[in-house]
Structure 1
Amino acid sequence: MKYLVPLLTILLVAACSSRPTTSGIGVEQASQQYNQQLIVNNPELGKKLAITDVKTRQTNGLTDVVVTLASQYKKSQYLQYQFTWYDADGFVIRGNHSPWQPITLFGFAKTQLPGLAPTANAVTFSLAVREVSTEAQEFED
């Protein structure tokens, strides 16, 4: 608990740094502060999602997080998420992106997404979320 306030402060400062972001960041929500960590690949999807809570702790010297992602949409959403970790200077820790993980987020539901920093140098993160097509893919010969 003693690391929570300093870490959240670092998360918010790092989220406001000059690293590139995509449209769809920040959903109107009481907990809008967390949504600076949310990177969404399109504005329409960004309107349907919000981060409502972030919990952190230290596990064997690594930052361990649980992000609560909430649906602001009435239908199920088929998504993938990925954590990107940053050092104290706001630089991406190269080669340490987590793999894309599939999730189904039901209408107006919440889910917890766990993430573990790849190194002790990781002090903040962003959470990228993208839609997964549910339509059959056709390939030409």
Structure 2
Amino acid sequence: MKYIAPLLAALVLSACSSRPVTSGISVEQHQNSFSDQLRVDNPNLAKKLAITDVKTRQTNQLTDVVVTLSSNYKKSQYLQYQFNWFDKDGFIIKGNHSPWQALTLFGFAKTQLPGLAPSPDAVTFSLAVREVSTKSQEFKD
């Protein structure tokens, strides 16, 4: 009889932890991955990157996020990233054209990327990442 109460408490606690929701931002987590939040148009680059953690909080009615981007590749990657914010209906929030930010991600390293929602209407986000060419370009007449 004394073992039933702890077992019942453990079952109730595990049933309550189906998906994280913090600060009004819902983050879909599938088998410890945040692949729904990562947008990479280059399939080769997509294999080399993963979001491994997302933290959120409210700051002056705006959602503040910190996304941990991890490299699954042995060499350094020269990238740019940009957050896109969406309202409760899944529409992109206007005035959301933040500049692309430069990022060097070293082999098998992790980095934290901060983002701030442009309005209190933001309920979810995606992180767009693209490669930057390291080859010099020549312009011919």
The TM-score bracket by the shorter chain reads: 0.7 to 0.9
Unpaired stretches in structure 2, ≥5 consecutive residues: 1-18
Unpaired stretches in structure 1, ≥5 consecutive residues: 14-28
Alignment of 1:6-45 (within 5 A): 6-7=21-22, 10-12=26-28, 31-32=32-33, 34-45=34-45
Q: TM-score, normalised by structure 1?
A: 0.80
Alignment of 1:1-141 (within 5 A): 5-7=20-22, 10-12=26-28, 31-32=32-33, 34-141=34-141
What is the number of residues matched between the two proteins?
122
CA contact 2:81–2:127 (8 Å) conserved in 1:
yes
| Mapped partners of 1:93, 1:59: distance in 2 | 18
Structure 1 stretches of 4+ with a deviation exceeding 4 A read: none
Q: Which amino acid aligns with 1:132?
A: V
CA contact 1:86–1:93 (8 Å) conserved in 2:
yes
Q: TM-score, normalised by structure 2?
A: 0.80
CA contact 1:31–1:51 (8 Å) conserved in 2:
no
CA contact 1:80–1:100 (8 Å) conserved in 2:
yes
Greater CA radius of gyration, 1 or 2?
A: 2
| Mapped partners of 1:39, 1:135: distance in 2 | 24
Q: Structure 1 residues 49 and 125 mapped into 2: Cα distance closer, same or farther (>3 Å)?
A: same
- What percent identity do the matched residue pairs reach? 70
Deviation at 1:45, TM superposition (A): 0.2
| Mapped partners of 2:84, 2:35: distance in 1 | 15
Question: 1:17-65: per-residue Cα shift (whole Å, max 9, x none)?
Answer: xxxxxxxxxxxx9522x11100002100000000000000000000000
Question: 1:59-115: per-residue Cα shift (whole Å, max 9, x none)?
Answer: 000000000000000000000000000001110002213210000000000000000
What is the root-mean-square deviation in Å for CA atoms of aligned residues?
2.1
| Mapped partners of 2:86, 2:112: distance in 1 | 21
Aligned position for 1:19: none
Aligned position for 1:26: none
| Mapped partners of 2:81, 2:59: distance in 1 | 22
